[in-house]
Structure 1
Amino acid sequence: MIQRAAYLSLLLASLMLLGCSSPELEIYVSPDGNDQAAGTLSAPVKSLQRAAELTREKAGQVPVTIYLSGGRYALTTPLMLGPEEAGTVEAPVLWKAMPGENPVICGGIPVNDWEQEEDGNWSTTLPDTYQGTFRSFYVNGLRATRARHPNDSYLRVGQAGKDNRTNFFFKENELSEIGDIEGLELVLLHDWSVTRIPVKSIDWKSKQLSTIDSIGAQLPFFTLTHWEDHPRYYLENVHEFCDHPGEWYADFKQGKIYYHPAPGDRIDATTGIIPLADKLIVIEGNKEQHAAYISFEGITFEHTAWKLPDLGYCGVQACMFTDRTSSTSNWSKIPAAIELDLATHCSFDQCTIRNTGGSGIWIRRNCEECKISNSYIHDVSGNGVSIGEGNDRLADGSPWWKSSPAEVSRGNVVSHTLIEHCGSQFYGAVGIWCGLVANTVIEHNEIRNLPYTGISVGWMWTPEPTPCEENTIHANHIHHILTILSDGGGIYSLGLQPGSRITQNLIHDVQVNAGRAESNGMFLDEGTKELLIEN
């Protein structure tokens, strides 16, 4: 009897142990793999898309870890992850670097085989696989400068035209005659935003420059001379401007790209990267089921493109812009290399996001408990991190924050992350942008070397109630900001934010305002109310 009881006890313990442990699915990916392989350590698959397909077999049933070997994983379209590739609290899905290795998910294609030109530039043929145009080019891992005049400073508008919107006169001897102005772009700085717009014509005799549409967003204070009589500008993207180390120009008619070498560059050891994909990762659920428990760890994301609207980019603030080609919204927002919608408990830890044509990462609509931690975000054209939405999306015919406030992004976190050199193209960008969000925590980050604001929270210019509440901005180190624009701050706020706190942040080296408006350490802008600031 005793032996039988002992046997039954052992059997019961074994069954309990088996019931408590679930086998983990491991999928291995390598740039040298084969998508016909099994995805094991000895037989890895090659593509991220194939790894995602294998994930579906067990996603949500057992923990799934996708191990990425070191090397480059090139994408032309984003990796789409939804509920079918998602996990649960007991069975999460983790995309992870192999120990000691550096996998890079990239959206660009390389160019080499440079030839010496008589003017000191190098040239190479654009790949046959590339279609369209591009705005960014990277050389030996660094963003090259799109050919510009002047090389490292600004010109000042001489006099605005009659409409104060579509043309101005430039000063004597500031601009030499250009043979072909096709592709020429005006970059004009407003106090807290930037316009990038194609040039329509230049009358060299009268020294009048005209653009294809209005300079500045549609609001009345974005006219040419509203803030300054002689605002700053420069011109970009013609062959004649490619005359300074580190500059590049692409002639899409001839199918060639030109590069003016920087000191130390070798013609036989220089690789350029042309960005192709507009996004790298899209995590998106639906109203019935969020995409949940998808994490990335130890992975680098780089080289994305973003094409300007045909009538140019007229910035409003924090990468919001007036899109005159859109019929759905007066304001649009620059997209990000990584975007999340209707996502829950997704995370990015020990990751790097760099060299993007748009923003870095956007935790957008109805996302909950998502987290960015211990990461490095730098050299992005737009915002480093964006969380939540603005106030203009409609739901059932009304602003979403009135008709569907439960769709607010809530409980998301950015912590222990270094964010710098955002706004590489769009100077009105910020390090971290939080729109109408709730229970957001931004803590223990370093944010530095930015053309405009460090952290921006809120998106309502009146104290009207919205779901924006109980946000925490704590113990961040913000410095060397507002290096180009004005009218921002180390921390910038808008609107009613009940229960929100800004505590123990260190802000210094806010640059002297270059425009007419002030530069601020802390800027409590319009509508700010019920916000505690201490220490």
Structure 2
Amino acid sequence: MATFALWINCSAAQQIKEIYVSPLGSDTNSGTYDKPFKTLHKATEQLGSKISKAQQKIVIWLNDGTYRIKDPIKIDSQINKNKVPIEFRSVQGSVPIISGSVAINNWTSLSEGMWEAKIPKYIGNFRELFVQGKRAVRARHPNKEYLRVKQVGADRRTNFTFYPEDFPLPKNPKEVELVLLHDWSITRIPIKNIALETHTISAVDSIGAKGLNFFNLDNWEPNPRYYLENSIEFLDVDYEWYLDTAMSKIYLKLPLNKNPNQFTIEAPVAESLVLLDGTEKEPISNISFEGISFEHCRYNIPNKIYAGIQACHFDTQGGAKEWAVVPAAVRTHWAKNIKFENCKFSSLGGSGIWLGTGSSNCTINRCTLWDISGNGIMIGEGQDRLVSGEPWWKIAPEQAALGNKVQDSNISDCGVQFYGAVGIWCGLTSETQLRNNEIYNLPYTGISIGWMWSPQATPCRDNTIAENHIHHVMQTLSDGGGIYMLGLQPGSKLVGNHIHDISVNTGRAESNGMFLDEGTKNVLVENNLIYNIAKSPIRFHRASTNVVRNNYLFSKGSTPSIAYNNTLAENISQEGNYEISTDNQDYKDLLKEAVSIHIPTPNKQLQNPRP
């Protein structure tokens, strides 16, 4: 009997293949515990045809340290053709980092606190620099806050005047990027010319997405906010940097007692970190990542023009409605049962992670995302992809992202470059679940779900946003909320969310705890706690029939708890909501009680809530 048990244990061990990797290893090694490979690319070469169907699973163990890559780790249907589960896991007690950066060395002192380094040709252009693990500031003026357009030009799109003392004149204006803030998006665009005689800034193309008149410069504000970025004349604060692309040189300002040759200074070179690509007929499946950090991923804007539309979708200015999306460092495509657990995503030039076209039953669990230029997490897609010349969602709705989950995760400080970014963006998705996540410190919306500005039927249905803690969002832009929703989404629910601290911004449109925009229909809004909102806790705009039930809505003064813009109030069914104004003398006590309850239930209700 003992011999039989030993045979069973040996057989099970043979079915699990373990591959070890370490930055201190060698790709000439065998990939064992004692002789690990050095690179993840070498480890993934062991997959595919070299893996037997009889194997139960493959575990790639990552030891402590940084794994620098210039090209992404790719796993496709051919590598995964035997459908054997593949796990990328950190060795216990280790902190493995997959980084798409290279170090910049050999700094030369120019003057007190000012340093210069030559950029190798293979690095090329980049938009981010990290000093000792922290994002440095691309030299800008002003250093904080914004300038104001003096007067918009005649075409309302390509130029405007400025005040004479607004900024130091750049010697090379064509190196400078103009950053202009619209209500819910921004434009980043190179400057064509700065005319001193007329005090006029001209951009190389349209400022704002073409074909959409509401992006005219003075549509929301007569004197919109802007600032200028990437000029040596703006390099006046410690830890700012400037890239001279023509001379392939970088300049960095540091405190007087700091020497960059004693620092780790990194620039991103990889355009993706991990790509999991299946096909509709052969989706990739059963791949997981646990305890791994993903850092430093480059994103250079196509045509150098980012005319933001919403949630990191933008106009490339290449023609009529040529929209693009800021990509993610980690992306799935036609993938099933992909899992990210206890992973970290940070210091990224695009978005964080994207469960893209055809992704189903994927999970992001207990992950942390911060310091990300674009969206934190993206699920599904918008309307634009064509199948047989027609929009995919019309003729192939079964291709929608289905049954994906984000839970127990912490998402903050997204939209570092592209302010219209959101913590979690979901397009035309089905059965998506976003549960128990904390989302905060964002320039725009916390969670955005839906991508149809009408009640037209799409695959978007049965999505659940529940028990999330969303706060201190909408800190830069306007016309969004803790949760932003739009379109027909039958069976969808916003339940038990805790949303607070959303202040007024300088844009024309207000921001709210929840903003249910055009076409929102057949949605249940229940048991949510919303307070410290400068405007209405809930706002409907061109919405249809929805149910708002048993919510705790704290508002300021005479501000209504629920606002209706081009929405018939009688179409919104209200049941058992507690609406408490600051005019109520017991407001603070009632708020304190509601927060202690956290998520209200029928068995824990406030007493005498109304004024």
Say yes or no: TM over 0.5.
Answer: yes
1:234 aligns with 2:227: yes
CA drift at 1:21: 7.6
Match of residue 59 from structure 2: 65
- 1:293 is paired with a residue of what secondary structure? strand
Q: Higher relative contact order by CA 8 Å / sep ≥ 6: 1 or 2?
A: 1
Instruction: Note the aligned Cα RMSD (angstroms).
Output: 2.0
Aligned partner of 2:267: which letter?
I
Match of residue 250 from structure 2: 257
Structure 1 gaps of 5+ residues are 1-6
Query: Which deviations, in whole Å up to 9, do the C-alpha atoms of 1:252-295 show, x marking residues without a partner?
Result: 23322111115874444222111001100000101221110011
Match of residue 276 from structure 1: 269
Question: Cα–Cα, structure 1 residues 346 and 263, in superposed 2: closer, same or farther, change >3 Å?
Answer: farther
Equivalence map 1:217-366=2 (5 Å): 217-218=209-210, 219-262=212-255, 265-310=258-303, 312-325=305-318, 330-366=322-358
The match for 2:101 among 63, 85, 108 is 108
Q: Distance in 1 between matches of 2:204 and 2:120?
A: 30
Aligned partner of 2:65: which letter?
G
Query: Which deviations, in whole Å up to 9, do the C-alpha atoms of 1:176-213 show, x marking residues without a partner?
Result: 32222121110000000000000000101210010000
Query: Which deviations, in whole Å up to 9, do the C-alpha atoms of 1:50-90 show, x marking residues without a partner?
Result: 1111122226542100001111111111111012333888x
1:432 aligns with 2:424: yes
8 Å CA contact retained: 2:209, 2:317: no
The match for 2:71 among 67, 77, 80 is 77
Question: Cα–Cα, structure 1 residues 59 and 447, in superposed 2: closer, same or farther, change >3 Å?
Answer: farther
Query: Which deviations, in whole Å up to 9, do the C-alpha atoms of 1:422-453 show, x marking residues without a partner?
Result: 00000000000000000100001100000000
Question: Cα–Cα, structure 1 residues 76 and 17, in superposed 2: closer, same or farther, change >3 Å?
Answer: closer
Aligned partner of 1:293: which letter?
N
Equivalence map 1:179-194=2 (5 Å): 179-194=171-186
Q: Distance in 2 between matches of 1:264 and 1:293?
A: 51
Match of residue 3 from structure 1: none
Match of residue 27 from structure 1: 19
8 Å CA contact retained: 2:168, 2:234: no
Question: Cα–Cα, structure 1 residues 330 and 354, in superposed 2: closer, same or farther, change >3 Å?
Answer: same
Match of residue 477 from structure 1: 469
Aligned partner of 1:66: which letter?
I
8 Å CA contact retained: 1:113, 1:124: yes
Aligned partner of 1:235: which letter?
L
Match of residue 372 from structure 1: 364
Aligned partner of 1:49: which letter?
H
Q: Give the % identical residues.
A: 46
1:523 aligns with 2:541: no
- 2:113 is paired with a residue of what secondary structure? coil
Question: Cα–Cα, structure 1 residues 275 and 21, in superposed 2: closer, same or farther, change >3 Å?
Answer: closer
The match for 2:400 among 408, 414, 417 is 408
Aligned partner of 1:332: which letter?
A
Question: Cα–Cα, structure 1 residues 101 and 18, in superposed 2: closer, same or farther, change >3 Å?
Answer: closer
Q: TM-score, normalised by structure 2?
A: 0.83
8 Å CA contact retained: 2:294, 2:344: yes
Worse-superposed segment, 55-64 or 404-413: 55-64
Worse-superposed segment, 171-180 or 466-475: 171-180
Q: Distance in 2 between matches of 1:199 and 1:375?
A: 39
Q: Distance in 2 between matches of 1:464 and 1:330?
A: 23
Q: Distance in 1 between matches of 2:399 and 2:353?
A: 19
CA drift at 1:112: 2.7
Question: Cα–Cα, structure 1 residues 13 and 147, in superposed 2: closer, same or farther, change >3 Å?
Answer: closer
Question: Cα–Cα, structure 1 residues 460 and 171, in superposed 2: closer, same or farther, change >3 Å?
Answer: same
- 1:438 is paired with a residue of what secondary structure? coil
Q: Distance in 1 between matches of 2:182 and 2:133?
A: 31
Q: Distance in 1 between matches of 2:43 and 2:498?
A: 43
Equivalence map 1:424-503=2 (5 Å): 424-503=416-495
8 Å CA contact retained: 1:311, 1:325: no
Match of residue 135 from structure 1: 127
CA drift at 1:372: 0.6
Aligned partner of 1:79: which letter?
I
Match of residue 95 from structure 1: 88
Question: Cα–Cα, structure 1 residues 12 and 393, in superposed 2: closer, same or farther, change >3 Å?
Answer: same
Match of residue 45 from structure 2: 53
Question: Cα–Cα, structure 1 residues 13 and 30, in superposed 2: closer, same or farther, change >3 Å?
Answer: closer
Aligned partner of 1:381: which letter?
S
The match for 1:126 among 97, 116, 119 is 119
CA drift at 1:122: 1.7
